Each structure stands twice: as structure tokens, then as C-alpha cells.
Amino acid sequence: MTVGYICRYTPVKLLESMGVECRRIEPGYIDNEVAEALMHPNVCTYVKGVLSEVVRGGYDGIILVNCCDSARRLYDVLKNAKKDMMVYMLDLPRKSGDQAVAVYTGEIKKFVQAFADFYSKEFNVQDFKKYISIEKNAEQNNRPKMRKGISLAIMGARCSAYLVDLIKNAGADEVLNYTCTGDLLEYPPLFDKSAREQEMIEWYAGCLMRSIPCMRMADIDRRRDVLKDIMANVNGIVYHTIKFCEFYSYEYSYIKDNYHFPILKIETDFTSDSEGQLMTRVSAFVESLRGRDEIKKTLRKSGKKIVAGIDSGSLSTDVVILDEDYNILSYSVMPTGASIVESADRAFSQAIEKAGISRDDISFVVSTGYGRINIPFADKQVTEITCHGKGAYFLNNGVRTIIDIGGQDSKVIRLDDNGNVVDFVMNDRCSAGTGRFLEVMAKALEIPLEKMGEEAQKATEDINITSMCTVFAESEVISLIAQNKKRADIVKGLHNSVASKTIGLLDRIGRKGTYMMTGGVAKNRGVVEAIEQKIGEKVYVPEEPQIVGALGAAILALQE
């Protein structure tokens, strides 16, 4: 028999002592046809995934806890849709203390009786004692112990095994899961062996209620005590939130505002749709913690050192070649086609040809961008966050804020006085305000992308594009065309829309000059001017803003 559950306050050990397989439901996909038909669109994506998983089958029963409104809606739907199995909801107290333990003891006893009535499986207190004794003896202390390398704690909303693996693959040497999917149950001193059923269930209810408090609990002081212990033993915190889950962003803001401790906030919908963006953000966070002195590689011998940086982006692939004196020997910018490897190879070959050298003359290659891990001839991969910081500081060491608008995302990066990345924000899941956004609008307006900046100079009317979404904004543009609005006015409105999206990112880390804009969109003078008007300061644009990431990668290659 297999019973599914979602909350760590579920009395799993009690069921396991009865020979029941308890499986925490960790959905890897969302069946939108099922979810949209049975649930409100604003219900959290995790619960939609659980619904999809349960409907697909493989469970003989589902045990829920009334931890939030979404869980209660899930119970309502499953109770109606799965009449052939037990769908049960435990009423969890929001407070801690002896009274809460007494209340939850009563809830567990009612559940045990309901389970026995439905499945004809009786609870045996002696079997439970034996099972708990084995579990307690096998328990390992979950408190972090610093190891050599970068140790990260995951906090916030429930974290899937997929996300833990992603953070490990992003370069963390140790990942400790302090979300509700981690092993957070703390056993008090062993129970009296003569304890009866009531006493054993009360003991177990106390174990559950004494675990690290969920943010849904009324008293979260103990969470903050644990937080201090975590910060004393790890290098940084990855704080996870789930779309449409309202609880955890408050704690993130509390940590961010009250502690000067490295913390990265990520949001997922329990699918792998944004794996590339997440990997970039977490990798950049790890790089900022690790420092540049930890890893050193031996350069291949080639006389005078010549290195290359490759930025494999969504729309273009850029290559910069440097000599050991930090002179740019050549660079190339080529469209990223259907094959990342072929695009990188063509751009690399073109840059080598321009420099008048051969591939054998290149001592070291660093790749960056979304395609960085797929460049076969790269010696090292570094995120574009770090590379843009290096490249921008090299071009202008007065720069403290970088605005990078690329093909499929936007970033704002903060540098310290030494050019180190100290903070950054990205738009994770949406192309609003990016090069792709402008590309779609250019097609709708039947104007070459590179002519949009020039066209905006002819504007005579202020038009507001209210939609940030690329799809909705395109519909809005088509509507404006139908109203016979001038193309120049629409283009200027689009530029202001991009600027507004960018300012939203900028204000999340705070404004601090001097500003530099990088990425292909920086070539659009209309967007640059719109951003300058909103921040009230001049924005420095390099001669070739599209190669700043590749330049930073080349600088890192030379420093290796």
C-alpha cells in the first residue's frame, strides 16, 4: 500500500510502523488540462502539480494537512475526484506548546481510527515503539558542519530533489536543505518503554510540533534562532519561493533587511522550464562566494599568452581575443543559430582569422552565456553575471551599476569599488523588456530592429504601452496601429516600456552611479535615453556593448 503526503507535519512514522509505504509527492510536471479544469488559475503551482500526479495514479490514499488555502482546495478537489481512496486532512494547530501538542494528539488519534476503518489496518503501539527506536538510532544530526568549499543552505518554500541537484551542479560543494522537505524532525529523549498508546501518540505529536516551525505557524521565533545557527555555519543562503505562495517572501525580506549575509532569492513553479536562468543565477552566486583565488589551472604553453572569451547567448555569439597585456586583438559577433556549438565555432574562427593567429596560439578559453556548458573547446565556464562585471569594470573602473539587456533576459549588476559583483537581479521567467521583446515588436511594426532607436527620435506623442508581457504588448501594438497611431510614437512607447521594466529591476537593488549599459539592446539609443530620463543620470555605453560579456570571459581566462 502506498500513501501520498505533502506536509512534514504528517504522522509518516506512525503509518510506516504499520507497514504502509509513505511517499512524499514531488511533482515534476503540471498537467495543465487537469489543473485548469479542476482548480482556480491562481492556486499555487505545487498544488497543481500534486493534483496532476495523483490523477495520474500510483497512490492508494492521500493524507493532507490544512497548512494553507491551496492545500484545502486540493483536499476539496481530490475528495470529490477520488472517491475510491482515502483522502484525509489533518487539522494542524498554528501555535506551539503543550496545548497545541494535546490538540494535535487528538487529531492524530482520529486519523488513526479513520485509517483503520477504511483499510482495516490496526495501529499497534509496540510495533510503533520498535520502529521509532530503529529510526532514532539511525538519525543523523542535520546541523551543518563546515566542509572545505562552498556550503549553501536552502530555506523558504518546499524544495524538490531536482532543485537541490541543480544547486549542487551550479558549483556548491555542500547543500543543506532547511525547507520542509529536509530532514528536520527532532526526537526528544527516548520515550518510556512502558508508555501506552495515548502517551506514544502524544510523544510523537510533540516531536512533529517541535520541528523547525513552518512560516504558517503563529510563533516563528525558533526559526530565527535556527537561522542564526545556519548563518554561522554556511557561506550563503538560497531562498526559495513558489509562485502564488504568499508566506515565504516575508521571511526573505526580514533576512535581507536585518542581516548582512549573502542570500539569493529564487522563484520556481516546480517545473524545469527555467533551468537555464536558475543555473545562471545560482552559479553567479556561488562564484561571488568562492572568489577568484580558489581555482588555478595550468596554462598550455604557447609563447606569448593569448586567450579567448566566448559569450554564447540566445540571439548572438560573441568572441573576444586578448593578449597578455590586455590588448583586444580582435572580436566577432555572430547570430546564434540552431546549433550553439556550430555558432561558437564560427564566431571563434572569425575572431582568430581577424587576429591573424591560429587556434594553437590560444592558451585558455573561458565560455559564458546560456550556452557556456556546451562549448566543447572551452577550458572553463563562468556565468555572464561575473563576466559582465569583469568586462564593464575593465572598460570603466568607475562603473558601479551594470544594466545588461540581452536577447532573453535583463540583469542589473552591482559592483564594489574593486569591481567585484556584490549583488544582482534578473528577470527569471519572462522576455518582457528584453531583446526578444523588441524583436517581436519590430516585426509587428514592420521596421528593422536596428532602426527602432532612430525611428523613436521622430515621435511627437507620448503613448503608454501598459502590457509588460510580450504577447499582450504585441496585441496592444496591433491595436494602436488600428487606431492609426504613428509608428514613431509607438516605438517610443515601447522604449519607455522597456525602461520601466529595467527600472523595476534596478530599484530592487538600489540605484548607484556610475551606470553602464551592456548587451545588444544598448545599441538602441532610444532605450538608453528612456532609461537615462527615468534615473536622471547619464548611462555609459561602450563602443561595442555586445561584447562586454565575452571581454570579461577573456579577462578571466588571462587571470587563470
Average pLDDT score over the chain: 84
Alpha-carbon torsion (464, 469, 470, 473), positive or negative = negative
Does residue 396 have a pLDDT over 70? yes
What pLDDT was estimated at residue 554? 94
**Greater confidence, 82 or 431?**
82
Mean per-residue pLDDT, 146-151: 69
Mean per-residue pLDDT, 397-424: 89
**Position of cell 534596478?**
506
Count of Cβ atoms closer than 10 Å to residue 17 Cβ:
22
Task: Name the class of domain 306-396+550-559.
Answer: alpha beta
Segments of the chain assigned to CATH 3.40.50.11890: 2-138
CA atoms of 502 and 425, how far apart (whole Å): 10
What confidence tens digit (pLDDT) does each residue in 472-494 have? 888 888 888 888 888 888 888 88
What pLDDT was estimated at residue 186? 56
**Position of cell 502506498?**
2
Does residue 379 have a pLDDT over 60? yes
CA distances from 439 to 408, 436, 476, 523 (A): 11, 5, 15, 13
Segments of the chain assigned to CATH 3.30.420.40: 306-396+550-559, 401-541
Does residue 90 have a pLDDT over 90? yes
423: three-class secondary structure by DSSP: strand
Q: Give me the CATH code for the 2-138 domain, please.
A: 3.40.50.11890
Does residue 301 have a pLDDT over 60? no
What pLDDT was estimated at residue 271? 66
**Position of cell 581555482?**
295
Q: Which of 131, 121, 7 is nearest to 62 (CA)?
A: 7
What pLDDT was estimated at residue 272? 62
Percent of the chain with pLDDT over 90: 24
Q: Please report the DSSP string for 69-133 in residue order.
A: HHHHHHHHHHHHH-TTSEEEEE---SS-SHHHHHHHHHHHHHHHHHHHHHH-----HHHHHHHHH
- From first CA to last CA, the distance across the chain in angstroms is 56
Q: Which three cell numbers stand for residue 342?
A: 556550430
Segments of the chain assigned to CATH 3.40.50.11900: 151-290
- What is the second-level CATH architecture of the domain 401-541? 2-Layer Sandwich (3.30)
List b or e across 305-344, with b for residues whose CB sees 16 or more CB atoms inside 10 angstroms.
Answer: bbbbbbbbbbbbbbbbbbbeeeeebbbbbbebeeebeebb
Does residue 273 have a pLDDT over 80? no
What pLDDT was estimated at residue 485? 86
**192: confidence class by pLDDT, cuts 50, 70, 90:** low
What confidence tens digit (pLDDT) does each residue in 152-162 have? 999 988 888 88
**552: confidence class by pLDDT, cuts 50, 70, 90:** very high
What pLDDT was estimated at residue 300? 40
Q: Do the Cβ atoms of 299 and 364 come closer than 8 Å?
A: yes
Mean per-residue pLDDT, 288-306: 54
What pLDDT was estimated at residue 150? 87
Which of the residue ranges 93-97, 249-253, 268-272 would you say has the lowest mean pLDDT?
Answer: 268-272
Count of Cβ atoms closer than 10 Å to residue 413 Cβ:
26
What residues contact 472, with CB distance under 8 A and at least 6 apart? none
What pLDDT was estimated at residue 154? 92
Domain 151-290 has CATH 3.40.1400.10: no
What pLDDT was estimated at residue 297? 36
CA atoms of 308 and 292, how far apart (whole Å): 18
Q: Which helix (H) or strand (E) holds 309?
A: strand 306-312
Which of the residue ranges 24-33, 327-336, 355-364, 448-457 would you say has the lowest mean pLDDT?
Answer: 24-33
Mean per-residue pLDDT, 539-548: 91
Which of the residue ranges 28-42, 51-65, 112-126 would you say has the lowest mean pLDDT?
Answer: 28-42
What pLDDT was estimated at residue 539? 92
Mean per-residue pLDDT, 259-281: 80
**Greater confidence, 185 or 85?**
85
Q: Which three cell numbers stand for residue 452?
A: 527602432
